[in-house]
Amino acid sequence: MGRIIAAGHLNWDVTLRVTALPDPDGEAQITEQHRAGGGSAANVASALAGFGLAAGLIGSVGTDQHGRMATRELRTQGVDTDSVVTVEGETTVKYIVVDEAGEVMVLANDGVNEAIGPEAVEPAMVEGADHVHLTGQRPDTAAALIEVANAAGLTVSFDPGRRIEQRAFEPLLDQVDVLLLNEREATAVFPAASGPPIERAASPDRVIVVKRGADGASVYTGDETHHHPGFAVEAVDTTGAGDAFAAGFLAATVGGESFGRPGSGAEPDYERALAVANGSGALTVQAAGARSAPSRVALAAFLAERTV
């Protein structure tokens, strides 16, 4: 079974369900509140652990109660938090406002979720891992993690997230084995998200995955393009759906043969990987909160019902 280390943000999330996202100077009624750990890297690690895989996290929290609760929750879920550092300051808190259609608005404080700089990255952080998954974080820290992973002979995936246009990630995008983007992010990086430019940018050494929301997802390998249409479900909350997708994709490609991955030395089954990833995302949007990724049993049952 492959061990996967996720690196990036670990937050405390306060999810507020409202009747509608308010206009400027407007007001909306809160119908439900939910508090739990969040942050893309932590969400991926939590989902992987829920699939029964060995998962670890590299991240940072503050010395406050939110940091203690977020770290304790991950340990309870089976995530290795030995590389989560506690630093003086406040844990990043995100207020996620979700309307009745599942659309999301996010408010956040600065917090300390980027306290790990490149000087703090050590080979021991990835010891015993088979793969490192990077999420939105300091570009210099991401670069150091890629260097450490390459030196250890590990594969690397990168899901830079919604701030890709605001951060200096560009030099890193061709240094990873798998690049995961949503359609908006893909359009920002490549002139046409589904046309020849992205196909030319992909190669067997850098697979590009484009998440298309309700329209499924695509994988570009340079030689081939694979597409899965996704699953029609009623969305309750889209928070964390992209992280659940990433966890599903990693589980199916590097998570071990017991999760449907081909045997050692075989090419990944990207058709299967997209189905698993889309299934994970589809189940996640049907429940509230960023940590609503399905269990391995629930995901398997969902896919079996749809004869994948």
Q: Which residues are catalytic?
A: 243
Instruction: Give CA–CA dist 182/188, Å, rounded.
Output: 10
Q: What is the DSSP letter of 262?
A: P
Instruction: Give CA–CA dist 172/155, Å, rounded.
Output: 14
Kindly tell me the burial class for residue 233, based on how many C-beta atoms sit within 10 Å of its own C-beta (0-12, 13-18, 19 or more): middle
Decide if 248 contacts 281 (C-beta within 8 A). yes
Structure tokens given for 265: 């030395």
Residues 6+ positions from 65 with CB-CB distance below 8 Å: none
Decide if 34 contacts 161 (C-beta within 8 A). no
Instruction: Give CA–CA dist 4/25, Å, rounded.
Output: 45
Instruction: Give CA–CA dist 211/123, Å, rounded.
Output: 31
Residues 6+ positions from 72 with CB-CB distance below 8 Å: none
Decide if 70 contacts 35 (C-beta within 8 A). no
Residue 54: its H or E element = strand 54-61
Decide if 42 contacts 293 (C-beta within 8 A). no
Task: Give the closest residue to 247 by CA, choosing from 8, 51, 7.
Answer: 51
**224 half-sphere exposure, CB direction, 13 A CA radius:** 8
Instruction: Give CA–CA dist 272/205, Å, rounded.
Output: 20
